[in-house]
């Protein structure tokens, strides 16, 4: 396919109008020995009909969650995506626009980000939020970085109940040596609050709590919040946005920084990306927020308008003094989250959260009847671990029975439930896990 609109005759005219003869004349500034002598060793281009065929074939090689009920969670959830959302995202004014650096021509994008920032604050109970970051993991890394820089300390206490990928990302980011990650083993599937509190000292910049944690279990937060604040450190919470419809907000817990992944707010699973990192803090850190922030102002005629503000924090101005190098946001995914929340409304989101948990409660009851046991006996939200000897083998069997099973732990399987899971699907899951192979 060709996306260059000028045919050969016009190309020739254009070249002549600027005093040149061939396309090669435009590249005389590149030394001849560096220029490619032969074409790239890539296949020749193909037409649209062939693309359709090839991509349909390629996509067809994947078993997808529309055909196979999915009990995988572990940081990415199979929630219902409303039709109106899908249609609105087809509007090319949204997806083919650039970052709104010229506000007069970009009020639509800027306002949608302002609304997104507001909604994140509403969900998390925090004062300010930025225009989004790449994903939950990198947002957490930036949160830890902010805590380290502002407390002038290095230690970040991390319970082992944080998502294992988040742990890996934090370790990678700590190559800067601005922070030291200290992993604290979990206790029965929850953060070991006693151990954490005991480790807090004058070198502790922050403690991170994930709610619900990676295993789906709910953490008690008051004690650790008091301990870290007494020590003038930061409480960083990593949360699930759907759960915030029914769970106490991090703002109410007293968190200083809140991060998480907004994938479950209308963004498709998409094999891991693009997702949505949200980042919110209490008001006193507004000028320390990484990434873009949209603010409200007036134009010269007194009309309300929106603009990228507090830009002097950002990399293009601070350069080597910047505390974060992030240049973009996940604008389209943030827009997706806003539209999702607008279409569901508060009651709709509460219904989704409640139903997800109902299906989990039902599943637990049926699993226990079938002789299986949960690994932990803690309060959980919509996700829990079921003990089994060989989770990998069990997942193979589940797939043969048309089910995508849960996340494999060493001795258990982490199962997640959403409002999309039907009773019949759960019954079939239980039957296979319980040992019945002919379902």
| Binding to another protein in span 285-324, by CB under 8 A | 286-287, 292-301, 303-305, 307, 309-324
Tell me whether residue 228 or residue 245 sits nearer to another protein (CB atom). 245
Q: Is 213 in the site for another protein (CB under 8 A)?
A: no
Tell me whether residue 188 or residue 252 sits nearer to another protein (CB atom). 252
Q: For residue 370, what is the DSSP state?
A: T
- Which of 234, 279, 285, 381 binds another protein (CB under 8 A)? It is 381
Distance CA 212, CA 216 (A): 5
Q: Is 159 in the site for another protein (CB under 8 A)?
A: no
Distance CA 210, CA 238 (A): 5
Q: How many CA atoms lie within 13 A of 100 on its CB side?
A: 28
Q: Is 377 in the site for another protein (CB under 8 A)?
A: no
CB under 8 A: which stretch of 7-15, 184-192, 228-236, 429-437 binds another protein? 7-15
Minimum distance from CB of 395 to another protein (Å)?
A: 6
Tell me whether residue 199 or residue 348 sits nearer to another protein (CB atom). 348
Tell me whether residue 68 or residue 376 sits nearer to another protein (CB atom). 68
Instruction: At 15, list the tokens.
Output: 């070249």
- Neighbouring C-beta atoms of residue 310, cutoff 10 Å: 16
Minimum distance from CB of 162 to another protein (Å)?
A: 12
- Straight-line distance from the first to the last Cα atom of the chain, in angstroms, rounded to the nearest whole number: 48
Tell me whether residue 199 or residue 351 sits nearer to another protein (CB atom). 351
Burial of 52 (0-12, 13-18, 19+ CB in 10 A): exposed
Q: Is 198 in the site for another protein (CB under 8 A)?
A: no
CA distances from 127 to 165, 286, 296, 335, 338 (A): 28, 9, 15, 20, 18
Q: Tally the residues of the chain.
A: 439
- For residue 2, which phi and psi values (nearest 5 degrees)? -115, 130
Q: Is 6 in the site for another protein (CB under 8 A)?
A: yes
| Binding to another protein in span 112-141, by CB under 8 A | 112-115, 117-119, 121-123, 127-129, 131-132, 134-138
Tell me whether residue 227 or residue 359 sits nearer to another protein (CB atom). 359
CB under 8 A: which stretch of 48-56, 184-192, 229-237, 368-376 binds another protein? 48-56
Task: Sketch the per residue contact string, 346 through 375, with another protein: x for CB under 8 A, - otherwise.
Answer: xxxxxxx-xx-xxx-xx-------------
| Binding to another protein in span 254-283, by CB under 8 A | 261, 268-275
Number of residues counted as binding another protein (CB under 8 A): 206
Minimum distance from CB of 230 to another protein (Å)?
A: 20
Give me the residues paired with residue 237 across strands.
209, 258
Asked if residue 100 lies in contact with residue 311, where contact means CB atoms within 8 angstroms, the answer is: no
Tell me whether residue 97 or residue 199 sits nearer to another protein (CB atom). 97
Minimum distance from CB of 231 to another protein (Å)?
A: 20
Q: Is 238 in the site for another protein (CB under 8 A)?
A: no
Of 250, 265, 374, 276, the closest CA to residue 331 belongs to 276
Minimum distance from CB of 97 to another protein (Å)?
A: 4
Distance CA 405, CA 70 (A): 6
The b/e string for 204-239 (b: 16+ C-beta within 10 A; e otherwise) is bbbbbbbbbbbbbbbbebeebbebbeebebbbbbbb
CA torsion through residues 65, 68, 71, 72, sign: negative
Minimum distance from CB of 100 to another protein (Å)?
A: 7
Q: Is 14 in the site for another protein (CB under 8 A)?
A: yes
CA distances from 246 to 325, 358, 416 (A): 35, 13, 17
Minimum distance from CB of 361 to another protein (Å)?
A: 5
- For residue 122, which phi and psi values (nearest 5 degrees)? -60, -45
Minimum distance from CB of 184 to another protein (Å)?
A: 19
Q: Is 21 in the site for another protein (CB under 8 A)?
A: no
CA distances from 54 to 47, 48, 51, 65, 416 (A): 11, 10, 5, 21, 33
Minimum distance from CB of 265 to another protein (Å)?
A: 11
């Amino acid at each position: 396919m060709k996306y260059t609109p000028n045919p050969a005759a016009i190309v020739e005219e254009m070249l002549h109008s600027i005093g040149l003869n061939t396309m090669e004349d435009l590249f005389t500034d590149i030394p001849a020995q560096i220029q490619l002598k032969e074409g790239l060793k890539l296949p020749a281009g193909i037409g649209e009909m062939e693309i359709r065929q090839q991509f349909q074939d390629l996509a067809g090689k994947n078993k997808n969650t529309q055909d196979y009920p999915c009990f995988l969670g572990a940081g990415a959830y199979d929630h219902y995506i409303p039709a109106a959302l899908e249609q609105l995202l087809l509007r090319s004014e949204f997806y083919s626009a650039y970052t709104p650096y010229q506000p007069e021509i970009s009020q639509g994008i800027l306002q949608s980000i302002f609304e997104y920032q507001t909604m994140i604050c509403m969900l998390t109970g925090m004062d300010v939020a930025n225009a989004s970051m790449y994903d939950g993991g990198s947002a957490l890394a930036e949160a830890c970085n902010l805590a380290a820089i502002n407390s002038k300390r290095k230690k970040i206490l991390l319970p082992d109940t944080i998502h294992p990928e988040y742990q890996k990302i934090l370790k990678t980011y700590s190559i800067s040596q601005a922070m030291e990650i200290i992993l604290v083993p979990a206790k029965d599937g929850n953060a070991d609050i006693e151990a954490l509190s005991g480790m807090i000292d004058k070198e502790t910049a922050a403690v991170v709590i994930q709610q619900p944690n990676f295993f789906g279990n709910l953490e008690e937060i008051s004690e650790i919040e008091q301990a870290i604040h007494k020590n003038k450190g930061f409480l960083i919470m990593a949360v699930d946005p759907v759960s915030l419809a029914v769970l106490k907000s991090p703002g109410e817990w007293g968190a200083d920084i809140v991060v998480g992944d907004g994938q479950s707010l209308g963004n498709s699973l998409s094999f891991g990306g693009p997702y949505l990192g949200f980042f919110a803090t209490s008001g006193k850190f507004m000028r320390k927020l990484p990434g873009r922030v949209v603010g409200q102002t007036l134009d010269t005629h007194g009309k309300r308008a929106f603009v990228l503000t507090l830009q002097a924090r950002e990399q293009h101005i601070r350069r080597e003094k910047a505390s974060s190098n992030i240049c973009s946001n996940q604008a389209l995914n943030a827009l997706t989250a806003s539209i999702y929340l607008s279409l569901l409304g508060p009651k709709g989101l509460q219904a989704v959260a409640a139903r997800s948990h109902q299906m989990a409660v039902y599943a637990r009851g049926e699993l226990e009847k079938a002789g299986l046991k949960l690994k932990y006996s803690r309060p959980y939200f919509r996700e829990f671990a079921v003990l089994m000897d060989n989770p990998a083998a069990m997942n193979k069997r589940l797939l043969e029975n048309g089910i995508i099973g849960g996340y494999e732990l060493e001795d258990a399987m982490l199962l997640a439930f959403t409002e999309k899971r039907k009773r019949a699907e759960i019954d079939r899951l239980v039957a296979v896990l319980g040992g019945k192979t002919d379902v």
